[in-house]
Structure 1
């Protein structure tokens, strides 16, 4: 069976464009649950009596930690019971938690519900990546993931604007209602159109020994583990920005209602980066593109840090935005390719592999991002220093994965 015919049989009635769009929307529900909240953090804190402004960031962090932890469960479940049941179950948890969050009267209760919502959303990270790995491999997977990321990036562009628009006509509770409705729409689309993509011969028994052996396979693969650790630190930079974005844009630079516009501008650069990556990765290869982007990410962050320390305080906003956008453009070439490079050796345990890698990168990234966010001191210095630090550590892990040799394709597909 050829690759194209195998793909067609796995997707059933779905064509490639619909498949890309649906997977992107499933993944985008995660971004929606984070980014739509950002304009409302101040109002939520005021309503629920949160005095320390840095503590508002826990609304993001609690979701991310739940999201990361639950990935350890969904992978083995997806390898045993197929992709559809765990995915639809997680969607249901996500929707119910969003509905209850609209009515919760305490900050502690909201954090618990956000954690639960993250537990449900984890299915949309683990199972979707497993589905893409079921259908595609090698550069085809990288191309598909880049296209998915390009569509996915529409949500970070528009989500803060949606949140801000809701706040113009209602209070923060309606943000959660909107989230629940979006989940219901995507859930209905998934239920009616997405077929089961796991081949019966690839199903693994759901036993402790089976799961332990799969975890061992993942954690002892040098390439998979070190690319995952690199992704963990680099995603920590993104989570650090998300945690402190509202404070930097509205506190340091006093953007007010223009905050969603500035957020969208950077997200557009990341979307453009993913689009270019999808066009180039098939010809150039994942390693050459991502290694070049990693060095660019490191260099830009170094320049950004020097200017932040030695330049005027605060840094002129136009310069801050340009350096940040350039850094995140490089990030767009790193994310999808590092994930594909980590997953590529692990196709025979794709579900568990996706869960272990997702757990490490999300929980680790969330903790790193929380540390960067909690260091906010009224300036952008903790964020910029955090970006440089994680890019430096990420580079070390990539060098370990590649035995010190960058830009070397391992075979025709990479």
Structure 2
């Protein structure tokens, strides 16, 4: 493969991977504008985030079998077409319920891009290059939450929130064209794969019965739902409670992403000295202590804008360390069935995340306290799940140092 071809493939796969994070984060600075235009509250607008997470969660399970059965390009084409039409709908939406529904449809569409990009890395690159390609894609996933809300903040402030969905629609069109013309058709459709619900479900059940899978999948997902609570609550907390403008909000969100991404990079260095198991344990204890201190400060009214940013920064740093390790140990037992295992892991993570962001929409009104309460409860619950689940693991499959399992959201 020529260097030019290699770079071209990475760019197209990277843009497919970035579509999801951009769709989640770019419209966040527009929450107050959307609430005003659709005659509703910011809390109700945050329900559109929950519906998006539910859409991705369902889509993960749907596209895995479709991509294996029909090849990569057709499901990807249909998914991106759905995404483009739903984005167009969001531009002309007139009421909040249609908006929440359209965000769900948009997620179902964008999910094709996420799942296909992971599958195509395995098709297009030699095995020894896969970890390197995944870490490049993780960099894209990492940079997207830093860039998207900052760009979104400027677009919203200068052109209004409708422009954000126009940009997302154009991104969808460009990515659709690039993937149809620029990606080779390497994967032959496998007609032996059944799309009947029974074999698909029995495959998922087989994965779920593995104690190492359910222990680390649920520990990781419940801990990670703290991030979803933060994402859903952040427009309310920063723009409604602390009264920062859309541009400043975009920069605050970018700073938070630095914490999460920085610590996940630090994680790979620490893994040379500690096992994944020790890293998860340490990260969850730190996260529990931080969230309890955060809660005490919130209850005693000791949090201003800077204190809130500081506590969230520390909280997200712990997640950046525990998340890659729980993902790695969740998938470690599966030499075959990796596709089903990673789809199920993604669905559990996004499903629990959707619940957490839904709780934010219901409880966070004019105080930071409900968000911190949700974060504290999820963190301590994850720690309990880890300690109970470990008792059921008879024979733990460890990650060898050359295994690199990337968790792509």
Q: TM-score range by the shorter chain?
A: 0.7 to 0.9
Separation (CA, whole Å) in 1 of partners of 2:162 and 2:129:
41
| TM-superposed deviation, 1:280 | 4.8
Q: Deviations over 1:159-189 (max 9, x none)?
A: 1221221123322211111001122233333
Is residue 288–residue 409 contact of structure 1 (8 Å, CA) maintained in 2? no
Aligned equivalent of 1:327, options 315, 318, 321: 315
Is residue 18–residue 141 contact of structure 2 (8 Å, CA) maintained in 1? yes
Give the secondary structure class of the aligned counterpart of 1:402.
Answer: helix
Which residue matches 1:191?
180
1:44 pairs with 2:44: no
Which residue matches 1:367?
355
The answer for unaligned runs of 5 or more in structure 1 is: 1-7
Of the structure 1 ranges 356-365 and 79-88, higher mean CA displacement relative to structure 2 is found in: 79-88
Change (3 A) 1:92 1:385: same
Aligned equivalent of 2:18, options 7, 24, 28: 28
Which residue matches 1:341?
329
Separation (CA, whole Å) in 2 of partners of 1:296 and 1:116:
38
Of the structure 1 ranges 136-145 and 287-296, higher mean CA displacement relative to structure 2 is found in: 136-145
Is residue 215–residue 390 contact of structure 2 (8 Å, CA) maintained in 1? no
1:254 pairs with 2:243: yes
| TM-superposed deviation, 1:326 | 1.2
Separation (CA, whole Å) in 2 of partners of 1:158 and 1:122:
20
Give the secondary structure class of the aligned counterpart of 1:70.
Answer: helix
| TM-superposed deviation, 1:282 | 6.4
The answer for unaligned runs of 5 or more in structure 2 is: 404-409
Separation (CA, whole Å) in 1 of partners of 2:273 and 2:122:
20
Q: Deviations over 1:294-313 (max 9, x none)?
A: 33222222222222223xx2
Separation (CA, whole Å) in 1 of partners of 2:135 and 2:205:
28
Separation (CA, whole Å) in 2 of partners of 1:243 and 1:178:
22
Separation (CA, whole Å) in 1 of partners of 2:364 and 2:240:
11
The 5-angstrom pairing of residues 143-292 of structure 1 reads: 145-195=134-184, 204-256=193-245, 257-281=247-271, 284-292=274-282
Give the secondary structure class of the aligned counterpart of 1:104.
Answer: coil
| TM-superposed deviation, 1:347 | 4.2
Q: Deviations over 1:234-280 (max 9, x none)?
A: 23212211221111102222222411111111111222223333455
Separation (CA, whole Å) in 1 of partners of 2:187 and 2:380:
38
| TM-superposed deviation, 1:140 | 8.6
Separation (CA, whole Å) in 2 of partners of 1:287 and 1:384:
26
Change (3 A) 1:208 1:251: closer
Change (3 A) 1:259 1:101: same
Separation (CA, whole Å) in 2 of partners of 1:398 and 1:137:
35
Cα RMSD (Å): 3.2
Separation (CA, whole Å) in 2 of partners of 1:146 and 1:404:
32
Give the secondary structure class of the aligned counterpart of 2:39.
Answer: coil
Q: Deviations over 1:13-64 (max 9, x none)?
A: 853x6666544432321111121111111111111121x3311112212212
Which residue matches 1:308?
298
Is residue 86–residue 105 contact of structure 2 (8 Å, CA) maintained in 1? yes
Separation (CA, whole Å) in 1 of partners of 2:10 and 2:178:
13
Is residue 52–residue 103 contact of structure 2 (8 Å, CA) maintained in 1? yes
Aligned equivalent of 1:60, options 49, 52, 63: 49
| TM-superposed deviation, 1:376 | 0.8
Separation (CA, whole Å) in 1 of partners of 2:127 and 2:385:
21
Give the secondary structure class of the aligned counterpart of 1:348.
Answer: coil
Separation (CA, whole Å) in 2 of partners of 1:292 and 1:138:
32
Task: Give the count of matched residue pairs.
Answer: 399
Is residue 149–residue 274 contact of structure 1 (8 Å, CA) maintained in 2? no
Which residue matches 1:379?
367
Is residue 252–residue 314 contact of structure 1 (8 Å, CA) maintained in 2? no
